[in-house]
A = this chain, B = another copy of it.
Amino acid sequence: MFRTPALVINFKTYLQATGKKGLELAKIAEKVAKDLGVEIIVAVQLADLRLIAENVEIPVYAQHIDPIKPGAHTGHVLPEAVKEAGASGTLLNHSEHRLRLDVLNEAIVRAKEVGLETLVCADTPATSAAVAALQPSAVAIEPPELIGTGIPVSKAKPEVVTNTVAKIRRIDEHIPILTGAGITAGDDVARALELGTQGVLVASAIVKAKDWEAKIRELAKPLVKKL
């Protein structure tokens, strides 16, 4: 069950969010989530997943899983291992880790089998609709050219978001849709909700912020009004 509205924080492989610093960031996210009563999810590096999942009560996601079954798959990410380490879900198909269509579909199927939510990223309205046809837990629309720029898609290309919502809604009336790429301020989040999406996917704006708590609080606040 993917609860909305949601703020998903992608730790990527930033050094500021690696290892014990990653745990620290996750704990601040947990604090804000409890204070405001909103859904905040952290998507963390695999090497840090267990450490973080054992120490916070908010949902912890992997950043990727492979659609493999237990066995001889050296160096790949077993869904069961991710689940046992404490994850409640996983990102899939992020612009920095795109997947083959068949692999993406199998990864969603495997995630359901082991009880992991799937938040699947897509780059255009067309691919977002394609993703929705695969019935993941949620879809995130992220025009890759805006990722990490600080130029929010919700302002720079609102039509990408509204076209995505329109296309997905013809295929699935209820699946949660998140807005990603360039989300930097509380305003961007409010705008994302107005455009018909149910939350945001954010990375550098939070991870690189000088005051993690203040930034998370700023981005989470617009979700409160929406509850």
Contacts and interface: CB of A to CB of B under 8 A. Distances in A.
| Copies of the chain in the assembly | 4
User: Which of A101, A126, A129, A203 counts the most B-chain CB atoms under 10 A from its CB?
Assistant: A101
A10 B80 CA distance: 18
Interface string A110-145: 000000000000111011011111110000000000
A72 interface: yes
Contact of A14 (B71, B95, B98, B130): B71
A101 B10 CA distance: 21
B84 A63 contact: no
Interface of A: 10, 12-15, 18-20, 43, 45-51, 62-64, 68, 70-78, 80-82, 84-85, 91, 93-105, 122-124, 126-127, 129-135, 147-148, 167, 170-171, 203-204
